[in-house]
Amino acid sequence: MILQQYKIVFGGSMGAGKSAAIKALSDIPVLETEAMNTDTQRHSKSLTTVGIDYGEIVLEDDTKIGLYGTPGQDRFDFMWTIVCKGAIGVVILIDHSRAERLQDLDAYVRAFESYSENIVVGVTHMDQPNDQMLKIYRDWMSLHHYNYPVFSIDARQKDDVLLLIEVLISHVEINSLSMV
């Protein structure tokens, strides 16, 4: 049985880097549920997550955080409800290289906002990340009245993924202080 004190969920489009992000951050070997990709029209990668990915990070104060990766395909969206139960936040990863990136952002924000108010967005696959390229995502957020933080990240880089986790944890801490 997997036990942890806290849970963070990674959601987003297929190929956006959810599995890579968990691998980059996890302090334990990652449990993966990958199978042959049969949806090659959506993404050319050979394997894709069909259940959950699971890893853990242990903070300096020995707090354990479970890292749960969801499948990106809509046909597995029934898993999202199960995985998000009890999560302190959701990391949504969006593949910038996809022409449908804003449609992906719309779909995943709308889906995951029903599970958590604590969301951060990581934009992956940006050849040359810069703030101007993130403007399309920030403009979309503003147009749709969302105020979620958006960062350009390389899902394979521990420090990039850790930034997203730190933002989620900071939001939880700020909210707990305001309740006191």
Q: What are the pLDDT digits (tens) for 67-96?
A: 999 987 776 677 788 889 999 999 999 999
> 96-105 pLDDT, tens per residue?
999 999 999 9
Question: What tokens were used for 78?
Answer: 């029934």
pLDDT at 48: 55
- What homologous superfamily does CATH list for 6-179? P-loop containing nucleotide triphosphate hydrolases (3.40.50.300)
Can you name the residues that pair with 6 across neighbouring β-strands? 65
CB 79 within 8 A of CB 69: no
CA distance from start to end of the chain: 34
Pairwise CA distance, residues 88 & 176, whole Å? 12
Please state the pTM of the whole predicted model.
0.86
Q: Give pLDDT, residue 3.
A: 46
Residue 131, pLDDT above cutoff 70: no
